Amino acid sequence: MTPPPHVPQSTRPLRIGIAGLGTVGSGVVRLLDENAALIARRAGRAIEVTAVAARDATRDRGINLGAVRWHRDAVALANDPDVDAVVEVIGGADGVALELAQASLAAGKPFVTANKAMIAAHGMALAARAEAADIALKFEAAVAGGIPVIKALREGASANRIERVYGILNGTCNFILTAMESRALSFDAALAEAQALGYAEADPGFDIDGVDASHKLAILAAICFSARTDVAGVTVEGIRAISAEDIKEADALGYRIRLIAMAEMQNGALLQYVRPCLVAAEHPLGYVPGCLNAVVAEGNFVGRLFLEGAGAGDGPTASAVVADIIDVARDEYGPAFTMAVGALDALPRADVGHVVGKSYIRLHVADRTGVLAEIAIAMRDAGVSVESLIQRGGTGGEALIVLVTHASDAAAVDGALDTLAQGDALVAPPLRLPILAL
């Protein structure tokens, strides 16, 4: 006999309060309105926006909010009797967003958020509150926008031991790097274009310095490795130092430069880093263009999973938020991080300095006799073997040297570069990028 389909505990409409009516919040309202009938069929009941919190009630957002109650204080949504579940799309690790999350869970109301900074910093405490109250804490939109990566890893791959998870988690950086790659732009020119198109903020540091990607990586690592989030344990390096010549030299070597977020277990410790790396041109990550995101997870039974899609924007992010709301409407949820917080491991941190692999090294050197010998001696003394060396230029008193090392301890390579920096061979700071074996 076929079992009956799951029916939500209540068939009355699920009443939603939304905090934040910027690009994503307005997109959520628009999606719930435009696809209302389809969403109701899939959720088993209607979903209605009954209250919102935003600073400016007069601004035209292109959505109908005539029948919706307005709150100037976002935290008031948690105590609104006409709100069953709260959606937060304000942003920020602390402040109003965190106060709203705490108040909503304390009031016994499911909480849906797109806030990666808050989940990375406070996800454990919020998940514990949600478990104690037996209510949902959902954050699919916090990582990779419209790509259902959290659901795929938390549910679809839940039977697997994940060996490592990595990918491109910041669309702004990927736009800049692929613009430099495809049109030979300088970093500054590509950044200016990203800002003009709205892909980068006026102050782009959160993106180009790798902070945004580090928050997302900490969340993915917790889900993949049944661990407590440890955003402070992520080694972070952004893309400001990448030049057009690095893009060109990487291409000549058969690689693409991408800002890679990587998490993997090494001898019982968790390695987490965000940094620009060289990936083989034929690897799927080498083909990810523009503002797209991509996540790769390697499971011991499922093999390699590759998910690619829009990582930001009103449509994709709103899609992820509403998918979480539908789960709430169906009463379908479980522990936010795959298992109860008390069962998650507080993993020791692996030292990124002892990662063994090939490195790309770019050196601007004085164009004089003996420089190559100094480089060779520094590498030899550090125990680093050089696979290839290319010298270009030799005009204006300086030359460009590009090295590729054999697989070496990262700290040893950095030690050799420190030795060179203390002498007079270099005329600019050196750059080392890992070459990933994926």
pTM comes to 0.94
Separation of alpha carbons 176 and 99, rounded Å = 35
pLDDT at 266: 92
Residues 6+ apart with CB under 8 A from 392: 399, 400, 401, 402
Q: Are strands 137-138 and 111-113 parallel, antiparallel or unpaired?
A: parallel
Work out the end-to-end distance of the chain between its first and last CA atoms, rounded to an integer number of angstroms.
47
What b-and-e string marks burial along 373-384, b requiring 16 or more CB atoms within 10 Å of the CB?
A: ebbeebbeebeb
Q: Which residue has the tokens 């992820």?
A: 320
The 10s digit of each residue's pLDDT in 251-269 is 999 999 999 999 999 999 9
Separation of alpha carbons 322 and 140, rounded Å = 9
- Contact indicator for 114, 139 with CB cutoff of 8 Å: yes
All structural domains of the chain with their residue ranges: 14-142, 149-311, 353-435
CATH superfamily of this structure's domain 14-142: NAD(P)-binding Rossmann-like Domain (3.40.50.720)
CATH class of the region 149-311: alpha beta
The 10s digit of each residue's pLDDT in 206-228 is 999 999 999 999 999 999 999 99
pLDDT at 3: 44
Q: Which residues participate in catalysis according to the annotation? A: 216
pLDDT at 9: 61
- Contact indicator for 423, 375 with CB cutoff of 8 Å: no
> Is 2.40.30.10 the CATH number for 353-435?
no
Residue 343's beta-bridge partner residues? Answer: none
Residues of the chain with pLDDT under 50: 1-5
